[in-house]
Structure 1
């Protein structure tokens, strides 16, 4: 997984466990795409200080995920939901009974809503 996507996902799950400075550095760097120098100016620290904050924050995010495994669980659930929706679509394409199709469409909508809410 690309680093920016990975860190953003980890941050979504575990960002509240970071210090304010670490959250700020992650937010600027990964979500707003600021350079280390720009972040340093905003935070009132050196470029090296920003780098240190980012490294420590990434280590903590990975550590939390190793212990809790929420990102992997989320990704498995999303894959399962997507596969379920795809399977329903395939079944509905082969059905002639409109009542049964309507019931399956309701299940599909519920699964889709679950994916969007997660």
Structure 2
């Protein structure tokens, strides 16, 4: 996965699971991925080492991936969106049944 794709995927995961992270994890993630601060800038803000920030961001990445592996909220949302698009374009009612199955 390329960097841009990886970042987009992580941001999607973060939008679903951010509330399950600690305040510190949220702050590091937001500063790095949303505010575009460097590891050193974040380290200076929190008075920790650059390596500590790097380690924390890697942990957050792993945590987000673990949440998705177990809960599959992003996967289900993407399936639902795809089915809704197909339903809108084809007006085929079989997609309604498939949407209902996702909710079971």
The two structures have a TM-score, normalised by structure 2, of 0.76
Q: CA offsets per residue over residues 29-58 of structure 1, 9 Å max, x none?
A: 112221111111222211111101101111
Say which SS state the counterpart of residue 13 (structure 2) adopts: helix
Return the alpha-carbon distance in structure 2 between the equivalents of residues 79 and 31 of structure 1.
27
Unaligned stretches of 5+ in structure 2? 92-104
**Over the residues paired in the alignment, what is the CA RMSD in angstroms?**
1.7
- Matching of residue 40 in structure 1 with residue 49 in structure 2: no
Q: Partner residue of 1:24?
A: 27
Say which SS state the counterpart of residue 34 (structure 1) adopts: coil
The two structures have a TM-score, normalised by structure 1, of 0.68
Say which SS state the counterpart of residue 37 (structure 2) adopts: coil
Deviating 4+ runs (over 4 angstroms):
none
Question: Aligned match of 2:13 in 1, 5, 10?
Answer: 10
Q: Partner residue of 1:60?
A: 63
Unaligned stretches of 5+ in structure 1? 89-118
Larger radius of gyration: 1
How far is the alpha carbon of 1:78 from its aligned partner? 1.2
How far is the alpha carbon of 1:87 from its aligned partner? 2.6
State how many pairs are aligned. 89
How far is the alpha carbon of 1:9 from its aligned partner? 0.8
Kindly indicate whether the alpha-carbon contact (under 8 Å) linking 1:7 and 1:30 is maintained by their aligned counterparts in 2.
no
Say which SS state the counterpart of residue 45 (structure 1) adopts: coil
